[in-house]
Amino acid sequence: MNTLIDNITDEVTKAFVANGYDEKYGKVTLSNRPDLCEYQCNGAMAAAKEYKCAPFMISDKIAEALLGNSMFESAESVKPGFINLKLNGEYLAQYVSEMKADEGRFGCEKTENPKTIIVDYGGPNVAKPLHVGHLRSAIIGESVKRIGKFMGHKVIGDVHLGDWGLQMGLIIVELKERKPELVYFDESYTGEYPTEAPFTISELEEIYPTASGKSKVDEKFKAAALQATHELQQGRRGYQALLSHILNVSVTDLKRNYRNLNVNFELWKGESDAQPYIPDMVQMMKDKGYAYMSEGALVVDVAEETDTKEIPPCIILKSDGASLYSTTDLATIVMRVKDYNPDSIIYLTDQRQSMHFVQVFRCARKTGLVDEHVQLKHIGFGTMNGKDGKPFKTRDGGVMRLEYLLDEINGEMFKKIKENQKEKENLDITDEEVEQTAKTVALAAVKYGDLSNQASKDYVFDIERFTSFEGNTGPYILYTIVRIKSILKKYEASGKSLPQGDILGAHSASEKNLMLVLARFNAMMENAFEETAPHKICAYIYDLSNAFNSFYHETKILSEEDEAIQMSYIGLLMLTKGILETCIDVLGFSAPDRM
Ligand code: ARG
């Protein structure tokens, strides 16, 4: 289905052309004065310059030409030369009816030109617990991925595990100190290694920070860890076996955590998977003369003439020949091109990694790792702050583990829902159901709280505000959906079945406004995809919920006596529910049946 705004633009453009003006002046936008009109065209203002006349002479003609048009209820020329438009109610209802008939898509067509897009998000590090810093990457990345899928693209989410480097050596050395008798350390051993890991996830999560702490004060320990890392990377059997235990235990735990966040990855690749691609890549960069030695390191220049600030060279190998974070990311690009030939790779990390990605992307382009048409995009997000405006920490100042944070919010939500049930005297709900509902609502609170901000901005993680049932919050959106579900249920309980037919022209201003907001769905979704901007979906569903709730408060729906009108109302409810549910699914959360 064409977007409504395109349909309107087409009509207005025709009027411009019919009056002898260029078609480019017919562009229509959403009104910025909803008290005066619904849509507006400012083309006469610009056209006046070309045609050397007063703008209102043009806007007058256009408004007159549009008068008889069945698409509009009114078309007004307003000095100095604006054209204010209101849609005809029947036309709008027809548009909204077509949306409703287009079940599941609601007028938003899938792309005719599907692209392969890799979304690199999550980025947890093996053996380190997930902390709040990983939350944004997971939440925003999951939504970016789902938006792309909804638009019909082939989108592949890759967790890109941090499973390479010193942290592995640290764990190995620490483990060796604790349990030297383990067979993994016996170099003469040639048999099979045990399938059971010699540690649990909680041990692992304690071993790593301990080892990391030691390495900062104990030179010998650090040297041993470096050596172990080196031997691991050279393929020492016992260490390789330990690595797979570390990976298994860690990944099992990570999967559980991500499942609780309703985040799913298509690929569980890690930094280690890219390592085999490094030697050939480095050789190519040398052979083609891109990489050269500078102060002992192998580097590629990536500065460009137009740079306004200094962009340092991309370091490919350190002086000891070791690879770096950037080397791994470059090799990962090689691997992804080979495996998936993507049109686009989108990375989600903290903004503080921006320079890293500028260097990596430029280096990848310059050395020809990707074709020109391939888009490499870094979405750097801001910091999640506490109420004090500083990065979010636990009460005692430590890094907050994601699990504990979510538990806390689940608890908060549980209390709220209990209270709400008591108020509504809905006492037939079991504690188990409340607990399940609390989890669903809590997740919406956290995700919406994050996604409703433009990603690049810092935001304050305010549990109290996020969990509120009122205002611009996830629970408010869910509350709206639950309200609609409940009306539909009552309607069906009265023996009527949900109507398939058309929606009638609006009977009130609030109903028309609801239709106008509904009709923006396809254009909004396309735009959210183009701009990789989940916050636009949040802003939209907030508008939609407000529009619905105004309509709801002003309209008797279940007691409406005119059957046809009631059916039309119910149709509107079905469409509103369908769109809200589609949007929250794309954002990565869902609604309960009651709350
Ligand atoms: N593991 C990294 C971190 O914790 C994030 C990885 C992001 N993705 C990437 N391709 N560099 O900071």
Asked whether the predicted pLDDT for residue 429 surpasses 90, the reply is no
- Which atom of ligand 1 is least distant from the CA of 349? 7
pLDDT digits (tens, 9 = 90+) for 83-105: 999 999 999 999 999 999 999 99
Ligand 1 neighbourhood includes 328 CB (under 6 angstroms):
no
Taking residues 137-150, report their average pLDDT. Answer: 98
Identify the pLDDT of residue 358. 98
Ligand 1 neighbourhood includes 167 CB (under 6 angstroms):
no
Ligand 1 neighbourhood includes 349 CB (under 6 angstroms):
yes
Taking residues 217-226, report their average pLDDT. Answer: 96
Identify the pLDDT of residue 397. 64
Cα–Cα dist 475/443, whole Å: 9
The torsion angles phi and psi of 182, rounded to 5 degrees, stand at -60, 140
DSSP per-residue codes, 183-237 = GGG-TT--SPPPSS-SS-HHHHHHHHHHHHHHHHH-HHHHHHHHHHHHHHHTT-H
Q: How far is CA 448 from CA 220, 406, 472, 588, in A?
A: 47, 14, 9, 9
Asked whether the predicted pLDDT for residue 218 surpasses 90, the reply is yes
pLDDT digits (tens, 9 = 90+) for 160-180: 999 988 889 999 999 999 999
Q: How far is the CA of 565 from the centre of ligand 1 (A)?
A: 55
What pLDDT band is residue 542 in, cutting at 50, 70 and 90? very high
Burial of 477 (0-12, 13-18, 19+ CB in 10 A): buried
Asked whether the predicted pLDDT for residue 531 surpasses 80, the reply is yes
Asked whether the predicted pLDDT for residue 109 surpasses 80, the reply is yes
Taking residues 553-575, report their average pLDDT. Answer: 97
* Under 8 Å between Cβ of 544 and 579: yes
Cα–Cα dist 89/505, whole Å: 5
Identify the pLDDT of residue 421. 83
This model's pTM is above 0.75: yes
- Please tell me the residue having the least CA distance from ligand 1 atom 3: 123
- Helical axes 43-51 vs 4-18, angle rounded to 10°: 30
Determine the Cα angle at 336 with ends 451 and 328, to 5°: 85
Identify the pLDDT of residue 394. 65
Preceding omega of 124 cis (within 30 degrees of 0): no
Q: How far is CA 187 from CA 174, 197, 461, in A?
A: 17, 18, 50
pLDDT digits (tens, 9 = 90+) for 265-308: 999 999 999 999 999 999 999 999 999 999 999 999 999 999 99
Taking residues 29-34, report their average pLDDT. Answer: 93
Q: Which residue has the higher pLDDT, 400 or 22?
A: 22
Taking residues 459-473, report their average pLDDT. Answer: 92
Q: Amino acid identity of 524?
A: M
Identify the pLDDT of residue 64. 96
Asked whether the predicted pLDDT for residue 484 surpasses 70, the reply is yes
DSSP per-residue codes, 283-302 = HHHHHTT-EEEETTEEEE--
**What percent of the chain has a predicted confidence (pLDDT) above 70?**
98
Two structure tokens written together for 308: 């306004």
DSSP per-residue codes, 267-284 = B--BHHHHGGGHHHHHHH
Instruction: Name the nearest CA neighbour of 119 among 346, 350, 379.
Output: 346
* Under 8 Å between Cβ of 576 and 481: no
* Under 8 Å between Cβ of 161 and 125: yes
Taking residues 501-520, report their average pLDDT. Answer: 97
Identify the pLDDT of residue 386. 87
Q: How far is the CA of 349 from the centre of ligand 1 (A)?
A: 7
Cα–Cα dist 247/308, whole Å: 43
Identify the pLDDT of residue 454. 94
- Please tell me the residue having the least CA distance from ligand 1 atom 12: 123
167-188: b (≥16 Cβ within 10 Å) or e: bbbbbbbbbbeeeeeeebbeee
Cα–Cα dist 243/223, whole Å: 19
Q: How far is the CA of 148 from the centre of ligand 1 (A)?
A: 21
Q: How far is the CA of 46 from the centre of ligand 1 (A)?
A: 48
Identify the pLDDT of residue 332. 98
Average pLDDT, the chain: 95
Asked whether the predicted pLDDT for residue 455 surpasses 80, the reply is yes
**Strands 39-41, 82-87: pairing kind:** antiparallel
What pLDDT band is residue 404 in, cutting at 50, 70 and 90? confident
Please tell me whether residue 543 adopts helix, strand or coil conformation: helix
Determine the Cα angle at 395 with ends 393 and 400, to 5°: 40
Ligand 1 neighbourhood includes 475 CB (under 6 angstroms):
no
**What percent of the chain has a predicted confidence (pLDDT) above 90?**
86
Cα–Cα dist 82/590, whole Å: 42
pLDDT digits (tens, 9 = 90+) for 353-400: 999 999 999 999 999 999 999 999 999 999 988 888 888 876 666 667
Two structure tokens written together for 135: 């939350």
Residue 538 neighbours by CB under 8 Å, 6+ apart: 448, 451, 452, 472, 587
Cα–Cα dist 489/503, whole Å: 19
- Which atom of ligand 1 is least distant from the CA of 125? 1
Identify the pLDDT of residue 205. 86
What pLDDT band is residue 199 in, cutting at 50, 70 and 90? very high
Instruction: Spell out the SS3 assignment of 160-184.
Output: CEECCCHHHHHHHHHHHHHCCCCHH
Identify the pLDDT of residue 398. 65
What pLDDT band is residue 132 in, cutting at 50, 70 and 90? confident
Mean pLDDT is lowest, of 257-266, 423-432, 496-505, for 423-432
